[in-house]
Structure 1
Amino acid sequence: WSYLAAFSESVPPVGGPYVWAFVGFTSALHCFEQYLELRQLKKNRETKVPLELTGSVDETKFLESQEYQKDKRLFGFVRDWTSFVFDKAQLFLVTPWAWAVASRICGPGAEYSTTLLWFLILQWVEKPINIPFSLYSNFVIEERHGFNKMTMGLFFSDMIKSELLTYVFGGLLVPGLIWIVRYFGDRFYIYLWAACQLLMFAFMWIYPNVIQPMFNKFETLKDESLKKEIEALAAEVNFPLTKLFQIDGSRRSGHSNAYFFGFWKYKRIVLYDTLLHLKQEDILAILCHELGHWKFGHTLVNLIISSVHLFTLFSLFGTVMYSEVSKNMIRQFGYGDTDSVMVSLMVFML
């Protein structure tokens, strides 16, 4: 204990104008968001169908939806305030301490291993907060309203798979990011941005083709009549449909979803099996919404906006990374005189 106390005292203190400005801004933003949630909660307590929806929405379904949204929102208050307090405690106590621990274990000059160990510690520090809230959300809120189909075994199986994927991708991407910044010097942000664009497109292929099949079973759509209707709809709007899938979303939830993926002329549509009990015209209406995003170029527009936003962030980061302002911010957030790429980036992104 004496060693631990001495080590903790050696961790630089957290505090200064940048820290308090960050705390003040995030606190004000959080309170404003909670105020908006309270306003919405008031609407969720209404029991009369809005005049605009009278005759279109069943009153029983409306009340069920109101109860569900109310329960989710009340749960969200508890979760959000707990996370807010935990995040601030983590800012002052945990994150700089975890960096000091990782630095002590890995030794000087070991930026790659120190950063990976730091992330690992932080990830496990958050588990006691995240897991109970996820369990309550699935097995109390969703269960109460008839949406949860997940077993406890499947919940933890998904969690373990997600953890392993995080370790694999994090273990590859974090060192790659550090290497780009170190290797390309002052103009690293151009190459970092280009690498992120390539990774984004790669992930758009990897997720539906590699990652999601680890969690869901993909099958060719079995309903031939529905298949023909969807193909006709796709042809009507010139959507380059190549395959139609259904997946076993009902293993986890009663919620429904549909989406498309693929590049250029090789698009595929995926329907959750929880949709298939609906009338064909209802399913087609849902797909019209998704195809509308494609037809009006919303996906491409969002990609361009994300790309410009990312380039702006990286170029600003490249401008301030080696400045005295950045060094002062790093010191005030409790990291001493480290020049770690990921510490600099994390503080900048705050």
Structure 2
Amino acid sequence: MAILGVATLAVVALTTPWRALPAGAPPIEPDPARDFTAAQIARSEAFDAAIGVPAYLSLGLTLVVAGVLVGTPLGAKLLARLRGPWWLRVLFGVLAISAAVAILRWPLGMWSETYLREFGLSTQTWASWTADRLKNIGIGTGLTAIMVLAVVALARRYRRWWIPAALGAFTLTVVASFAYPVVIEPLFNDFTPMPASTLRADLLAMASKDGVPVENVLVADASRRTTALNAYVSGFGATRRIVVYDTLLRAPADQVELVVAHELGHAKAGDVLYGTLVGGLAAAFGACLLYLVGSAGPVRRRTGVPSIADPRAVGLLMGLLSLATVLSGPGQNLVSRHIEARADAHALDLTREPAVFVSMQKRLAITNISDLSPNIVEYLLYASHPTAPQRIAMARSWALLNGVGQP
């Protein structure tokens, strides 16, 4: 168990690209005022202040519910009322707790959506918003039910259930990552091949030059949901694809190419596969921690759960999973920011267009109303990418390092 934890930390520490540019790159301080007007900065701050309230309340709700499930016998007492076979009680327990949390969280989601509309980011109707939210809840509840049911089943059969649970957690993570682009993504968007055009030919030529095998580029109909600009790479092997939001196609072609060059950086570095394997290791280690914490005498006495093999342990397990998700978030974001910075450096190396890169980052930040200078709490909790000023500063550093005119 300890070996798995140390191995996971070692893999993350040794494989994360902690430095995106060579050591000799001149330091450039991020400065929002250098690239954004006072009005743009004020709009970013106003949006962050508005959207932050429901976001923090949602986080607080998650912690409160998890605390109740892990620190009190309330969950076990409520679940003790369920009748039927143990597996059916487990499934009903997951469904009941998930539904209760979804109902509590629903007003906060509507509150957040009103701000997204007020600032022009959301193009959804309440019907489409509700449909998307129910899909997310259904997918999350289904995955949680699989995990909790597996843990209880293994605990009922094996004394050292953490061993098969760790193997199962790793396997589920890999399978889910492989299936996500072909099973989950189509539930939310329609994807069509980018039509034959100069842009498509240029993107495929750039991929070929980069040595990244890309047979197609897909366009997602994101405009039915948002005005935000984005592109991403998902899946690996046969499911790997580069996806471009249709909203991004309204940008100049050279900026679209910069975004795709960033995504090619992810593909060339194998970031999706890397993230899947590291996530699998972390999930396996999490199963071990679940065994240690869930089997501890003080925890079981405080929650009134005789053992993890009892269906009444559903609340305890779901509470621990929620806490693990929140606590692991800052670490995941830290690694993600460095991986994104490496992809930015790759885009600059591939295109050698730092001025276009800066223009593209400004467009993304203004259109998506990105937080240009988040406070430390928001940066740790929510920032999976460097801020726009940080990315622009890196582009200027790259330009000086490579003798290209500083944008």
Output the TM-score relative to the length of structure 2: 0.62
Q: Which structure ranks higher in relative contact order (CA pairs < 8 Å, sequence separation ≥ 6)? A: 2
Structure whose CA Rg is larger: 1
> Are 2:169 and 1:196 aligned?
yes
CA distance 1:218–1:116, change in 2 (3 Å): same
Distance in structure 2 (CA, Å) of the matches to 1:348 and 1:167: 15
Q: Which residue of 1 aligns with 2:117?
A: 143
Q: Which residue of 1 aligns with 2:306?
A: 337
**Aligned residue type for 1:88:** V
Counterparts in 2 of 1:14-93, with a 5 A limit?
A: 52=31, 57=35, 59=37, 63-64=39-40, 66-77=42-53, 79-81=55-57, 83-84=59-60, 87-88=63-64, 91-92=67-68
**Contact kept? 1:142, 1:148, Cα under 8 Å:** yes
CA distance 1:238–1:172, change in 2 (3 Å): same
SS in 2 for 1:242: coil
Give aligned-pair identity as a percent.
21
Distance in structure 1 (CA, Å) of the matches to 2:305 and 2:142: 30
Shift of 1:218: 1.1
SS in 1 for 2:121: coil
Distance in structure 2 (CA, Å) of the matches to 1:238 and 1:51: 32
Q: Which residue of 2 aligns with 1:30?
A: none
**Aligned residue type for 1:143:** R
> Are 2:92 and 1:117 aligned?
yes
Distance in structure 1 (CA, Å) of the matches to 2:62 and 2:147: 27
Q: Which residue of 1 aligns with 2:82?
A: 105
Shift of 1:279: 1.0
SS in 2 for 1:104: coil
**Contact kept? 2:193, 2:218, Cα under 8 Å:** yes
Shift of 1:99: 3.1
Counterparts in 2 of 1:242-321, with a 5 A limit?
A: 242-264=215-237, 267-319=240-292, 321=294
Shift of 1:171: 4.3
RMSD across aligned C-alpha pairs, in angstroms?
3.1
> Are 2:98 and 1:129 aligned?
no
Q: Which residue of 2 aligns with 1:36?
A: none
**Contact kept? 1:247, 1:272, Cα under 8 Å:** yes
Distance in structure 2 (CA, Å) of the matches to 1:189 and 1:106: 27
SS in 2 for 1:295: helix
Distance in structure 2 (CA, Å) of the matches to 1:342 and 1:85: 19
Shift of 1:205: 2.9
Distance in structure 1 (CA, Å) of the matches to 2:109 and 2:306: 37
SS in 1 for 2:237: coil
Output the TM-score relative to the length of structure 1: 0.71
CA distance 1:85–1:51, change in 2 (3 Å): closer
Any idea what the Cα deviations from partners look like across 1:102-151, whole Å, max 9, x if unmatched?
A: 222226xx432233222222222223432112112122x11122111000
Any idea what the Cα deviations from partners look like across 1:268-322, whole Å, max 9, x if unmatched?
A: 2111101000111101111122222233344444334333333333334445654
**Contact kept? 2:234, 2:272, Cα under 8 Å:** no
- The range that moved more, 277-286 or 120-129, is 120-129
Any idea what the Cα deviations from partners look like across 1:243-288, whole Å, max 9, x if unmatched?
A: 2111110111111211123323663211110100011110111112
- Structure 1: any 5+ residue segments left out of the alignment? 1-49
Shift of 1:72: 2.6
CA distance 1:177–1:243, change in 2 (3 Å): farther
Distance in structure 2 (CA, Å) of the matches to 1:283 and 1:136: 32
**Contact kept? 1:241, 1:266, Cα under 8 Å:** no
Q: Which residue of 2 aligns with 1:228?
A: 201
- Structure 2: any 5+ residue segments left out of the alignment? 1-28, 324-407
- How many residue pairs were aligned? 290
Q: Which residue of 2 aligns with 1:41?
A: none
Counterparts in 2 of 1:200-211, with a 5 A limit?
A: 200-211=173-184
Distance in structure 2 (CA, Å) of the matches to 1:147 and 1:102: 41
Q: Which residue of 1 aligns with 2:373?
A: none
Distance in structure 2 (CA, Å) of the matches to 1:270 and 1:165: 22
